[in-house]
Each structure stands twice: as structure tokens, then as C-alpha cells.
Amino acid sequence: MSDAPLFDPRPPSLPGLWIAHDGADNDVVVSSRMRLARNLQGYAFKAKMTRDDSERLTEQMRGVLEDVDAELRWLSVGDLAETLRQVLFERHVISREHAQDEQPRGVAYSNDGTTSVMINEEDHLRIQVFAPGLDLPHLDERINALDEAIAERVPVSFNERFGYLTSCPTNTGTGLRVSVMLHLPALSFRSEDGVGKSIERGIRKVHNAAQKLGLTVRGLYGESSKADGDFYQISNQVTLGRSPAQAIADLDAVLPQVITFERKVRDILLDEHRDNIEDTVWRAWAVLCNARRIESAEALKLLSAVRLGVCLGLLDEPAPPVVHQLLVTMLPAHLKLAEGRELSASERDVVRARLIRRTLTRSRPGEN
């Protein structure tokens, strides 16, 4: 691992928190993402690369990306302090594996945080574009333009039969992953007193509909993660034999149904079980605005309830983007960076509670 210190006294400027903005259908859709996996000709795949080749490829791509877009910022990931690497992971600029790798590697990202290109992740290049809310057509234009600009400058590994060649066979073909993050608290609703039992198979229906189109449903942090806080990612699973247009069309086929289904069930819960929903929402608000210590799992669950309350008109604030901001800034590395020191788990819970209180109550006079 890098010998960089835990905290850099002069950290580089961080990318903007793009998720803390409004987007289309943001009562249900949190964000959209597209990612392309690419490898360069003339280099072994990542698992077989020597350190010298990793360094040579990294420097080559740094020059290429500076030529593609002079406004992209560059960071040599291995030279960053550990906390900064984790902050970039928490902002989805780099992956967990990219943050923890030992080989030379880098990342180029836009100032607003909506674009990042990882160099020497699982593949030589991982090109990503993000948007708040539902915005697949715009993302498709952006990622295609960036992909074409890179391909004009460096030869990529492509086979007429199999398409783009990647380290993992599941990405071979288009190399494209399209994912949309959804907040589905109504479809996930459970209650010990029987409220919501008539719709308790809602999430199962979403899974079944997605699987029929070759899509997969995962939790907030992607593969192998749970749907904490009722946040789910729906993404394409098949990249070989299906064009990028088909991958987007598959998502377009199921997303409107899921969004409509979630909204309908929210209305049912509000009409038939208003007291229960109001109690859940207002208890969550009260705890978040007054807690002096809170773990991340509990905070996520309560923020989910508050977000639902806002979308149902039971609370006037905070706007969904404020909740989205907290979903990132309450994470461990962000808390450590804000405090400028290492934090124990117990200390993080205290700092997290203070951050949430101040954000939700807009730093009321006398608030600690």
C-alpha cells in the first residue's frame, strides 16, 4: 500500500457532490450511472501486468485524457492519503478495489464529479458518467463522446466476434453497465401489526420483472450489498450479444413500471395507513434532529423514512438532494476528513449525529 499519510495538510480539490442536486423523477429515482470497461492494445490485462507496464500505461493515459478534455483533473491514486482515497470511493469517483490496489494507477474526473475515468482498475480503463435522477439518454451521449475521443487517440482491444475484450467475461461485448438507483420504501414496507402485508411482495415483483429482461437488482453499494434504507440499484447483467441501445431499452422497459408501482403503493399507504406512516416519518425526524450518537445503518434507515415523508408531503423539508448529500457525507472517510483526524467507531457516531442534526435543522442557535 502507499506510504502516504492518513491526512494530507493540503488535500487536492475534491469533485463536486453531484448527487446533491435535483433530477428527473427524483421522488423515486436517486441517480443514474453508465460505465464502460476498456483495455488498450499492446498491454497485458490488469491481472498480468508488471508494475513498470502499469506505470507506463498510467502516464500514457494521463496525457491522453489531458488531450481529450483539459478540464479533467488528474490524481495519482497511490500518492493520496488513505482517507482521501476512501473519500473518492464514497463519492463513487473510484471503486473500492481502485482505492486499495498497490499498482500504479490514476483517475481523471470532472470538477462537478459527474465524470470519472479510472486507470488500472480491473480493466485498463473504467469510464463513468453520473447524473442525479433519471437521465439515461443524456448519459448515453456523454459516455459515447468520451469513449470515441479516447479511441481516436489509443487503440482499444476489440474482437469482431466478441466485441470489447475485458478482464472479466461478464463485461465482454459492449463493456457497458447501466444502473439506476431507486428509493423504494413503499414496496419494501413491513409492519408487525400487518400494515403493508397486501403489498409485501412488491420488491419480489420488481426482482422478477428485472430478471425477465436480463437485469439485476442490488443494494445501495452494488454487487453483494443489501438494500439498506430501501435503496436499490437496477442494472443490466448481459453485455455480450446485446447492444448499448438494447441495454438502455431493457431498463426503459422496466423503470416506468417500477416508478409508477412505487408511487401507487405510497398513495395506498397514505390513504389506508396514514397514522402508521406519519408515526414512522415523524419518529425518524425527531431522532435525527436530536440524537447525540447514531450508527450509519440506523441513520440510513431513518433518512429513508424522512425522505419518504417529504415525498408524501408529510414534511416540508429537507429536499431529497439534502438527504442524498447526507448519504455521502455521513460515511466514515468524509467524517474523518471533516474532523482532520482518525476517529474511533464511537467517535464517528457522535460526529455523524452532529452533522445530521446541523444539516436537518440548519444549525439552529444553540445547537451542539
pLDDT tens-digit map of 15-66: 999 999 999 999 999 999 999 999 999 999 998 999 999 999 999 999 999 9
Mean pLDDT (the chain, rounded): 87
Task: Please say whether the beta carbons of 325 and 359 come within 8 A.
Answer: yes
More confident residue, 215 or 295: 295
Q: What's the whole-number mean pLDDT along residues 228-254?
A: 80
Task: Please say whether the beta carbons of 292 and 349 come within 8 A.
Answer: no
Q: Which residue has the cell 447525540?
A: 292
Q: What's the whole-number mean pLDDT along residues 73-78?
A: 95
Q: Which residue has the cell 419494501?
A: 188
Greatest Cα pair distance in the chain:
67
Q: Domain spans of the chain?
A: 1-173, 181-269, 273-360
Q: What's the whole-number mean pLDDT along residues 75-92?
A: 94
Instruction: Please give the CATH number for the structural domain made up of 1-173.
Output: 3.30.590.10
Distance CA 88, CA 109 (A): 10
Confidence of residue 235 (pLDDT cuts 50, 70, 90): confident
User: How far is the CA of 302 from the CAs of 108, 218, 220, 288, 289, in angstroms?
Assistant: 35, 20, 15, 7, 11
Distance CA 1, CA 294 (A): 31
Return phi, psi of residue 30, to 5°: -80, -50
More confident residue, 76 or 201: 76
Beta bridge partners of 221: none
pLDDT, tens only, 301-352: 999 999 999 999 999 989 999 999 999 999 999 999 999 999 999 999 999 9
